[in-house]
Amino acid sequence: MINTTSITDLKQNMAGIIKRLREEGKSVVILQRSQAAAVLVDPDYYALLEDTLETSSDLKAIEERKDEPTVSFEEVSKKLDSK
């Protein structure tokens, strides 16, 4: 279930809404004129979202490069040692 609150209620009861956010869910959608205007997110959930997005980006980059030629660690090490 999506938690929502109006921007007016947020202004009048910010502490209560933040308490509800931490107790009941990961986010609260803030409505302005019955339209989603912003999302208030629990800090732990936000960190998880960022980590997930970063992992997803990393996996996409790996997938895009999987057919590129590779160089072994030993070859790189030899080249570095020779300098």
- Please write the tens of the pLDDT for every residue from 8-60: 999 999 999 999 888 887 899 999 999 999 999 999 889 998 999 888 888 88
Joined together, the tokens standing for residue 83 give 């300098």
CATH number, domain at 38? 3.40.1620.10
In the sheet that holds 3-6, the strands lie side by side as: 3-6, 27-32, 35-41
Is beta strand 27-32 parallel, antiparallel or unpaired with respect to 3-6? parallel
Please give the single-letter amino acid code of residue 74: E
- What is the total count of domains within the chain? 1
Q: Is residue 81 part of a domain?
A: no
List beta partners, residue 35. 32
Residue 18 maps to a domain: yes
Q: Which domain holds residue 16?
A: 3-65
Decide if 79 is inside a domain: no
Residue 71 lies in a domain: no
DSSP 8-state code for residue 68: S
pTM assigned to the model: 0.63
